[in-house]
């Protein structure tokens, strides 16, 4: 009797011959078990195709809005080499830990936060790690952190489509993602990269938030398209998703992000709130 073989690569077998492949009938799951003291209802990823578009601002804004409605919320700062969430909320480590796991720190508005900056001796120390080490740290934030009971865990991911987004999509039970972009010329290509990665991993795309959409003149109120005219509605329509908000350039955002973000309300993400609460 011939030995049954599994398919090792797409180039070694056709679609027809793959139908009986054991690896296809029983796909391997890479999901990591959460900490035994964690009970999380929804996991929402916040992603961007490129850096500098205000992804952490959007993640923290959505967390604030959910917390203000009485939901139990956490933020997992998966941007290991560029963590900003603790600074925004004025949190300083070290986080506490015992034999049962690591305890997230609590913001003034009762949002649980875990970030590598809460585990370093100095928040300005660089994280000079290779990709696999960074990816393992993200998995530890899921498996070793005692999140307790949460309605929402927002995962602030690093930009791009590299090791960490891949690890999050494979290892965590992500219910959907929000893509953050800006109205620059390359945005269509960048958004599509993030969108296509999510779709490849079978992760639902809840919608797109555009940051830096315009600057409102303080004297006349005219909206100035500093980074070019927005095409976000056109892009969202093309991808079959929704625009969840358009945020302007506003000095108040930067002021709030300098350690006082717990008291900040982002009035431009009402649509995002509707989608998250479905």
* pLDDT tens per residue, range 166-188: 999 999 999 999 999 999 867 78
Residue 3 pLDDT: 44
- What kind and span of H or E run contains 278? none
Q: What is residue 122's predicted lDDT score, i.e. its pLDDT?
A: 76
All residues at 6 or more sequence positions from 242 whose CB lies less than 8 Å from its CB, including other chains: 206, 207, 208, 236, 271, 275
pLDDT given for residue 249 in this prediction: 93
Q: What's the pLDDT at 14? A: 43
End-to-end CA distance of the chain: 53
Identify the three-state secondary structure at position 33: coil
Q: What is the pLDDT of residue 243?
A: 97
State pTM to two decimals. Answer: 0.87
Which pLDDT value is given to residue 52? 86
Task: Name the band, by pLDDT with cuts 50, 70 and 90, for residue 148.
Answer: very high
* Tokens, residue 246: 């358009």
- Residue 17 predicted with pLDDT over 80: no
pLDDT score for 28? 59
pLDDT of residue 227: 87
11 pLDDT above the threshold of 50: no
For residues 186 and 203, is the Cβ–Cβ distance under 8 A?
A: no
Sheet with 73-77, edge to edge strand ranges = 105-106, 112-114, 73-77, 148-156, 38-47, 176-181, 205-210, 243-246
Q: Give Cα separations from 154 to 18, 85, 147, 224 (angstroms).
A: 37, 11, 12, 31
pLDDT at 16: 44
- Rounded to an integer, the average pLDDT of 185-198 is 87
Quote the pLDDT of residue 26. 45
**Among 33, 47, 3, 21, residue whose Cα is nearest residue 204:** 47
Q: What percent of the chain has pLDDT over 90?
A: 66
3 state SS of 224: strand
The predicted structure's pLDDT at residue 221: 85
pLDDT at 185: 67
Q: Which pair of tokens denotes residue 192?
A: 């599509």
Per-position b or e across 211-232, b if 16+ CB within 10 A of its CB = bbbbbeeeeeeeeeeebeebbb
Q: What's the pLDDT at 61? A: 97
* For range 161-168, the mean pLDDT: 88
**Which residues neighbour 77 within 8 Å (Cβ) at sequence distance 6 or greater?**
56, 83, 84, 85, 86, 113, 114, 115, 116, 117, 141, 156
Token digits for 270? 């009402």
More confident residue, 46 or 134: 46
Residue 1: pLDDT over 80: no
Closest CA to 241 of 201, 184, 203, 186: 203
Mean pLDDT for 198-216 is: 94
106 CB-near residues (< 8 Å, 6+ apart)? 112, 113
Q: Tell me: pLDDT of 18 over 60.
A: no
Residue 20 has pLDDT above 60, yes or no: no
- Judged against a pLDDT cut of 80, whether residue 7 lies above it is answered with no
Mean pLDDT of the chain: 88
Q: Which pLDDT score, from 0 to 100, does residue 161 have?
A: 81
Q: Is 114 left (phi over 0), alpha (psi -120 to 50) or beta?
A: beta
- Token pair for residue 188? 């269509």
pLDDT band at residue 22 using 50, 70 and 90 as cut-offs: very low
What is the number of other CB atoms lying within 10 angstroms of the CB of residue 183? 20
Identify whether the C-beta of residue 163 lies closer than 8 Å to the C-beta of residue 135.
yes
Per-residue confidence (pLDDT) for residue 163, from 0 to 100: 86
Average pLDDT over residues 216-232: 88
Average pLDDT over residues 234-261: 93
């Amino acid at each position: 009797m011939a030995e049954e073989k599994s398919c090792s690569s797409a180039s070694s077998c056709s679609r027809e011959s793959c139908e009986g492949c054991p690896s296809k009938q029983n796909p391997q799951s890479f999901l990591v078990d959460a900490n035994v003291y964690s009970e999380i209802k929804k996991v929402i990823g916040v992603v961007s195709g490129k850096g500098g578009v205000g992804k952490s601002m959007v993640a923290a804004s959505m967390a604030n809005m959910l917390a203000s409605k009485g939901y139990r919320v956490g933020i997992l700062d998966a941007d290991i080499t560029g963590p900003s969430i603790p600074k925004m909320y004025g949190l300083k480590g070290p986080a506490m830990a015992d034999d049962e796991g690591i305890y997230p720190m609590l913001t003034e508005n009762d949002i649980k936060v875990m970030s590598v900056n809460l585990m370093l001796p100095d928040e300005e120390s660089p994280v000079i790690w290779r990709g696999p080490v960074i990816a393992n740290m993200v998995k530890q934030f899921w498996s070793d952190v005692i999140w307790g009971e949460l309605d929402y865990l927002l995962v602030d991911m690093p930009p791009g489509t590299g090791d960490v987004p891949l690890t999050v999509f494979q290892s965590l039970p992500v219910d959907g993602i929000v893509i953050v972009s800006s109205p620059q010329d390359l945005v269509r290509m960048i958004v599509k990269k993030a969108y296509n990665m999510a779709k490849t991993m079978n992760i639902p795309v809840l919608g797109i938030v555009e940051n830096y959409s315009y600057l409102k003149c303080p004297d006349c109120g005219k909206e100035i398209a500093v980074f070019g005219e927005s095409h976000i509605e056109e892009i969202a329509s093309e991808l079959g998703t929704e625009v969840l908000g358009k945020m302007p350039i506003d000095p108040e955002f930067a002021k709030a992000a300098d350690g006082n973000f717990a008291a900040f309300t982002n009035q431009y993400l009402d649509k995002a709130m509707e989608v998250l609460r479905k």
